[in-house]
Amino acid sequence: MNFSPSLLESLRAATKIVALTGAGISAESGMATFREAQTGLWSKFRPEELATAEAFRRERKFVQDWYTWRRQNAVNAKPNAGHLALVEIEKRAPEFLLVTQNVDGLHQRAGSKQLVELHGNIHRFRCFENDCASDNFDVENGRCRSCGGHLRPGVVWFGEMLPIDALETAISAAEQCDVFFSIGTSSVVYPAADLWRRAKDSGSVIIEINKDPTPLTPLADYSFLGNAGEILPQLVAAI
Ligand code: APR
């Protein structure tokens, strides 16, 4: 793959790099994305029936089983060349932050360190009724030992606020970076989908890597349509 000299120069000169990732970076690890036609989770399941507090109140077992199934998929999956390429960029960049919308934990397993999870993590749990401290959970029985409440997955559901520390860290990093990557995300879910604009407004170079075109594609400085697990390692090798 050929990369323009100006792109390579921007990456070599960058002191602060931010990479935003979505479900697409885990697709080559066998994880389903959300919005891809036919294959995406939301083409098979209705988010309002599974990824909301209301759904948990209404159909707790159904929701818990669905997350158990997704959690097992994440455990069985392995980080791919795309995840590993980001670890390499983190090692080389003077400053780097990985902002992920993914809850699968594959970035951590690949070795990423400078990481914020905007939508939580499926391997963590929360007490649904009282949000009790997480050190007293009976995960096997899905119960909180502190209050007897039910355990819910430690992810952000539709209609819920993002973890404020993670969001503020992501926003300030985006506003200070030289290069901003948007990788494997449809760029339609906010506030994550707004981060590139904050970076752009601060003069950052925007690089998109995605299998399909997104609303960001015509606005990015560089947009590569294809598999992140193929393009990212080539880009790292070219820097
Ligand atoms: N390499 C790069 N991009 C890919 C690949 C791949 N191998 N496979 C799929 N893609 C792209 C698709 O073209 C799609 O545009 O990844 C994108 C995934 O988009 P979504 O399924 O919408 O996932 P994401 O952007 O992460 O969703 C954001 O929405 O449902 C909520 O909380 C959930 O975090 C999620 C958020």
Q: Average pLDDT, stretch 192-213?
A: 98
Nearest atom within ligand 1 for CA of residue 22: 26
Identify the pLDDT of residue 188: 94
Q: Is the CB of 120 under 6 A from ligand 1?
A: no
Please tell me the distance between residue 97's alpha carbon and the centre of ligand 1 in angstroms.
19
Instruction: Quote the Cα angle for 178-180-183, to 5°.
Output: 160
Q: Kindly tell me if the per-residue pLDDT of 37 is higher than 90.
A: no
Q: Which amino acid is at 223?
A: S
The DSSP 8-state label assigned to residue 150 in this structure reads: B
Give me the half-sphere count of Cα atoms (radius 13 Å) on the Cβ side of residue 156.
19
What is the value of pTM for the model shown?
Answer: 0.96
What are the E-state strand segments in the chain?
16-21, 95-100, 115-117, 120-127, 137-138, 143-144, 151-155, 179-183, 205-210, 222-225
